[in-house]
Amino acid sequence: MNDALAGHPCTVLVNALHAKSGGGVTYLRAMLPQLATDGRLELVLLGHRDLLHLLEPLDGRIRVHPVELPGGMVREMLWEQLRLPAVARGLGADVVFSPANFGPLAVPNQVIVLRNDVTVGRDEPRLAKKLYWWALAALTWASLARVRRAVAVSAYAAERLSFGFGAKVRVVHHGVAPAFSPDPAVRREGFLLTVSDVYVQKNLLTLVRALAGLPGIELRVAGRIVDPWYHAQVMALAAELGVADRLTFLGRLDEAALVDLYRRCAAFVFPSTAETFGNPLVEAMACGAPVACSNAAAMPEIVGDAALLFDPLDAAAMREALARLLGDADLRGELSGRALRRGGAFSWAATARATADLLVEAARGC
């Protein structure tokens, strides 16, 4: 143990360079206020000047170090690998916290978060995208070889992403914000809801095929269109199957709008093929939404007995599960009750405490 740090707060440089959308932003928006209250830590937030607004409002105890990055993903990654270590030393960081699968390889005193499922590359038809996922897998392995500690956001993530370095990995589930809660005064309506940014592993093509067998049911999709190529495929299929008028893309929504949708939907559906956690699942359960979801990856671990499971690659099985849920009020009520109990098991405060323990251990060389 580093005795020089005993009794003193650890300076933690939070590497937010990869918090651009989706779960990465959700994670830091929830975690930063919690970590800022931990007296063992002093936080310095490093992020791209043009993207730090995504993490606002920021706790006044957090020092902010905005940086200008060169354009393009490759140049940004080179900046992180070559320049960030010197910045960390200049800021007096005892430990770097990189809430992504990898961080700067020249910084061994680091904690990373295993949250991106690299198996996505198996199903990606485009070579450039496959190369991205292969590169991410390689960087994950290299980072694990160097860092002191790693957080796995689920047991599934720990199993699939530890690459033989399991002794460094600790499972710490994500939490859910208090705003995601039921409201008995709000009546549920007849639409299906899914919440995710739009790209291949979210499996919306299969969901559209299932929707075609559910006459009169509307599907609303809340999330950014990250991959226009995939979105175009989904829309083309919806038009071909005659369901385009029952499919609505809502874009990225704020927390209040999401809470309202979770409370009003007839059911929440999560058809993803590759997830290490699935924040929307916990949000939906905390709001009491009846849930139908994929039986793949981390989803069964997260929902427990609080969801109707289906094979995400089988449109008929997905359709059958959704038809059963939509047609059975008693089942919806039972799953809603289970969802509330299951959602109550997740807490950002508990996530932050366990993560802070790891940061202190890494900083002190434990």
Polymer length in residues for the chain: 366
Q: What is the pLDDT of residues 170-227, one digit of tens each?
A: 999 999 999 999 999 999 999 999 999 999 999 999 999 999 999 999 999 999 999 9
CA distance 324 to 276: 27
CA distance 169 to 313: 30
> What is the chain's mean pLDDT, rounded?
94
Alpha-helical (H) ranges within 173-328 are: 204-211, 228-241, 255-264, 279-286, 299-303, 315-326
pLDDT of residue 249: 98
Angle at 35 between CA 29 and CA 37, to 5 degrees: 115
CA distance 31 to 60: 14
Q: Give residue for tokens 């600790």.
A: 170
Whether 270 shows a pLDDT value over 60: the answer reads: yes
Q: Residue 5 — pLDDT band, cuts 50, 70, 90?
A: low
Position 22, amino acid: G
Q: What pTM does this model have?
A: 0.92
Position 101, amino acid: N
Whether 3 shows a pLDDT value over 50: the answer reads: no
Whether 343 shows a pLDDT value over 60: the answer reads: yes
> Residue 181 — φ and ψ, nearest 5°?
-150, 160
Q: Residue 4 — pLDDT band, cuts 50, 70, 90?
A: very low
Helices 22-36/348-363 angle, 10° precision: 80
What is the mean pLDDT of the segment spanning 75-81?
A: 93
CA distance 243 to 122: 29
Whether 66 shows a pLDDT value over 70: the answer reads: yes
CA distance 298 to 293: 11
CA distance 33 to 38: 9
17-21, 171-175, 264-268: least confidently modelled range: 17-21
pLDDT of residue 21: 76
Token couple for 116: 């991106």
Quick one: CA dihedral 153, 159, 161, 167, positive or negative?
Answer: positive
C-alpha torsion angle, residues 132, 48, 224, 342 (rounded to 10): 90
Token couple for 77: 């990654």
Query: Is the pLDDT higher at 24 or at 346?
Result: 346
